[in-house]
Amino acid sequence: MLKAVVIGLAVLIVLALAALVAGIVVKGGRLAGSDHKGGWVTPLMAQVPPDAEVESMALDGDRLVVHIKRPDGSGELLVFDLRRRNLSGRIRLEPGSNR
């Protein structure tokens, strides 16, 4: 009798683990709020001048802002819409005089 109970509990544990793994695979395959249907992700590209460097980046929801800084002190903010996968805006930053 005890042997049958142990075997039954072992079967239930295996079924529970299989359901857990299946749930992780199904939910993990979908990104929250993503319209992506699977396959390879297409890279989002932007050209940066050779003398410029990325100063910082900030993420807010579906927007990514990249701060590009040039040696002359000027810069640019590149605003990407990650949901639509495009560059949605550019803000030029020019050095000003201190008053």
0.85 exceeded by pTM? no
Query: pLDDT tens, 25-50?
Result: 777 665 444 555 555 667 778 888 88
Spatial separation of the C-alpha atoms in residues 79 and 65, rounded to whole Å: 5
pLDDT tens, the chain, 99 aa long: 889 999 999 999 999 998 888 888 777 665 444 555 555 667 778 888 888 899 999 999 889 999 999 998 899 999 999 888 888 999 999 887 766
3-state secondary structure the chain: CHHHHHHHHHHHHHHHHHHHHHHHHHHHCCCCCCCCCCCCCCCCCCCCCCCCEEEEEEEECCEEEEEEECCCCCEEEEEEECCCCEEEEEEEECCCCCC
